């Protein structure tokens, strides 16, 4: 299995349980590792034979912009399931972080791995 990765993607979504978090969307930082076979693309040199990361980024940002999650864990599960179902991934690692949520802490987050 090969891995296509997207690191430190910034996206807007509604995330949190506190009233101040529900008042406005927040920027989250997402890193993705998508397990797929790239053998066909390596042979053909054709984007149609692999996961188009530009499409992943565009569609994920659109999906998240209209969604609300209470917990990062739920957001990570949503993204993992979305990748497995929409991009024929066999395995995914999803890392999601909230930025600047606590004084003296750069980011807090969760990392999950899922497979079919």
The CA distance from 84 to 91, in Å, is 7
Spot the catalytic one: 22, 74, 98, 106. 98
**First-residue to last-residue Cα distance in the chain:** 13
Contact indicator for 14, 48 with CB cutoff of 8 Å:
no
Which uninterrupted H or E stretch holds 7?
strand 2-15
How are beta strands 91-102 and 68-69 bridged, if at all? Answer: unpaired
Is 22 one of the annotated active-site residues of the chain? Answer: no
- Active site residues per annotation: 98
């Amino acid at each position: 299995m090969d891995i296509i990765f997207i690191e430190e993607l910034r996206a807007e979504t509604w995330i949190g349980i506190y009233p101040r978090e529900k008042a406005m969307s927040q920027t989250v930082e997402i890193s993705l590792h998508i397990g797929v076979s790239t053998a066909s693309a390596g042979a053909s040199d054709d984007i149609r034979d692999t996961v188009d990361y530009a499409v992943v980024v565009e569609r994920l940002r659109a999906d998240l912009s209209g969604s609300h999650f209470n917990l990062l864990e739920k957001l990570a599960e949503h993204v993992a399931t979305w990748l497995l179902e929409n991009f024929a991934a066999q395995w995914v690692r999803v890392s999601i972080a909230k930025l600047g949520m606590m004084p003296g802490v750069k980011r807090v987050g969760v990392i999950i791995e899922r497979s079919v």
